[in-house]
Amino acid sequence: MPGTGIFELSRRNLLISSAATVAATTVTRGAAAQSGGEIMKHTSSVSLKVNGQVRDLDVDNRTSLLDALREHLHLTGTKKGCDHGQCGACTVLVGGRRINSCLSLAVMHDGDDVTTIEGLGQPGNLHPMQAAFVKFDGFQCGYCTPGQICSSVAVLEEIAANIPSHVTLDLNAQTSVSEGEIRERMSGNICRCGAYSNIVEAIVEVAGTKA
């Protein structure tokens, strides 16, 4: 049949070319998967300075700072409430600033200085804010208390540094330790027991002591 030879040749070339394409694609995909495997490392080494001590950890990249503290370092003073940044129970100090540790990955804090409630003071050697919470009954069940205390310490530092809040009226004057300022700045720390008034009294007491 005329033309069959040309057709057969073209068909043969097509098959060869298809096979070559499949082989090339397979090799490329394999290389991509391999390099992807190297990039997608699921664990990391992280070094935290927690309450003055260097702690080296190997953690899943998805581990929150809260879980690193509680589950890896067994510092269970820091509480997990909502795990969504809404209650403040997990508040710790990082470099002197308060953060919700449930919203922050441990791997983001390599080399950071972290202070938890255990590092603020201990039985017999309480931080002034811890002592004030005891004195003014700033808690009932105590679940929110570590976060409240860490936050309170940071609030007084913020006011001393003249960092304004939403209720600061005069941005040119030194911010005062008023009840309004304290309530606004502590509004991210929820207390189901409703110990708010006593918490404010405790903070005012410490601020007075500091002045």
Binding footprint of ligand FES on the chain (CB under 6 A): 80-83, 85-90, 100, 102, 139-145, 191-193, 195
Measured distance CA(135)–CA(205) in Å, rounded: 10
Smallest gap, in angstroms, from Cβ of residue 157 to ligand FES?
20
Q: Which CB atom, from 104 or from 168, has the smaller least distance to ligand FES? A: 104
Q: Which CB atom, from 44 or from 140, has the smaller least distance to ligand FES? A: 140
Q: Which CB atom, from 20 or from 141, has the smaller least distance to ligand FES? A: 141
Measured distance CA(134)–CA(114) in Å, rounded: 24
80: how many CB neighbours lie within 10 A of its CB?
18
Smallest gap, in angstroms, from Cβ of residue 146 to ligand FES?
10
The single residue listed with the structure tokens 């080494």 is: 45
**CB contact at 8 A, 91 and 98:** yes
Smallest gap, in angstroms, from Cβ of residue 22 to ligand FES?
51
Q: Are strands 113-115 and 43-50 parallel, antiparallel or unpaired?
A: parallel
Torsion over CA of 93, 98, 101 and 106, rounded to 10 degrees?
A: -60
Smallest gap, in angstroms, from Cβ of residue 187 to ligand FES?
13
Q: Which CB atom, from 128 or from 143, has the smaller least distance to ligand FES? A: 143
